[in-house]
């Protein structure tokens, strides 16, 4: 934790504290409900497996929290040949994931999918700005981070984003993008981009950028 910036430390402390209170539940990762969490996971996994080849491939989950998406993958896609690496800025949730992996075959796996194909790491460097209320700064930040992540991506980059009529920051400090301008950025500076919607996720979309 000593290598984190002050901004990163605040974020890590927030999620560590929520994990201490709520444990391995959607609420610990600021999800509104398990149904909405599952809806997001469904959209993300649908895009992953639409773009995956028949060969073995890897999934990098940035902001993995307590490993909820890995649990979803093992419950719904255990027969596919994939590997998983989860990254999060909160060290306590990563400790939980690493410790939990010792008994996860009993808890998570259906069939013969080996949990040893999953790994977890504490990360830093994702949040490079001090807390701000500037829409322009957040918009620039998100675009820059997506470029950095895409540089490390082999096939496709999939992510959720809140959408509104114009870029804004809510009272709960959640950033919203405007769809048309964001799609223009993605298609002109990142790669071919499409998105999925879900009836339970009325103000967000799941984007997929295919690397050229």
185 and 155 assigned to the same domain: yes
Q: Which of 99, 131, 163 is the last residue of a domain?
A: 131
Look up the CATH number of the domain holding residue 35.
3.40.50.150
Residues 114 and 172 in one domain: no
Q: Show which of 82, 103, 131 is a domain's final residue.
A: 131
Same-domain check for residues 123 and 111: yes
Q: Which residues are 162's β-sheet partners? A: 204
- Judged against a pLDDT cut of 80, whether residue 102 lies above it is answered with no
- Please indicate, yes or no, whether residues 86 and 48 belong to a single structural domain of this protein: yes
Domain shared by 152 and 96, yes or no: no
**Domain end marker among 90, 110, 131:** 131
The 10s digit of each residue's pLDDT in 151-167 is 999 999 999 999 999 99
Q: What mean pLDDT is predicted for residues 167-193?
A: 93
3 and 94 within one domain: yes
Does the predicted model carry a pTM greater than 0.95? no
Residue 102: domain span: 1-131
Of 52-61, 104-113, 143-152, 162-171, the range with the lowest mean pLDDT is 104-113
Contact residues for 14 (Cβ-Cβ < 8 A; gap 6+)? none
Mean pLDDT of 23-50: 88
Instruction: Kindly give the residue spans of alpha helices, DSSP state H, lying in the chain.
Output: 6-22, 34-51, 68-76, 91-100, 104-107, 135-151, 179-185
Same domain? 54 vs 154: no
30 and 91 together in one domain: yes
| Count of the separate structural domains present in the chain | 2
Whether the CB-CB separation of 120 and 67 falls below 8 Å is answered with yes
Same structural domain for residues 117 and 102?
A: yes
CB 191 within 8 A of CB 212: yes
Nearest to 18 by CA among 73, 88, 102, 82: 88
| pLDDT (0 to 100) of residue 163 | 97
Residues 117 and 145 placed together within one structural domain of the fold: no
Is residue 118 located within the same domain as residue 144? no
Say yes or no: 118 and 29 in one domain: yes
């Amino acid at each position: 934790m000593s290598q984190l910036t002050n901004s990163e430390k605040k974020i890590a402390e927030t999620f560590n504290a929520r994990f201490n209170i709520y444990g391995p539940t959607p609420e610990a990762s600021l999800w509104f409900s398990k149904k909405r969490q599952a809806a997001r996971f469904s959209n993300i996994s649908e895009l992953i497996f639409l773009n995956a080849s028949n060969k073995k491939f890897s999934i990098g989950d940035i902001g993995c929290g307590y490993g909820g998406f890995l649990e979803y993958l093992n419950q719904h896609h255990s027969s596919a040949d994939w590997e998983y690496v989860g990254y999060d800025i909160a060290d306590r949730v990563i400790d939980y994931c690493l410790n939990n992996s010792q008994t996860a075959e009993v808890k998570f796996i259906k069939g013969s999918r080996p949990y040893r194909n999953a790994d977890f790491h504490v990360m830093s460097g994702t949040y490079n700005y001090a807390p701000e209320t500037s829409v322009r700064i957040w918009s620039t930040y998100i675009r820059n981070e997506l470029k950095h992540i895409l540089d490390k991506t082999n096939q496709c980059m999939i992510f959720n984003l809140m959408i509104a009529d114009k870029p804004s920051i809510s009272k709960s400090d959640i950033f919203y993008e405007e769809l048309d301008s964001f799609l223009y950025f993605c298609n002109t500076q990142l790669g071919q981009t499409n998105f999925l919607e879900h009836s339970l996720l009325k103000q967000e979309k799941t984007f997929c950028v295919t690397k050229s």
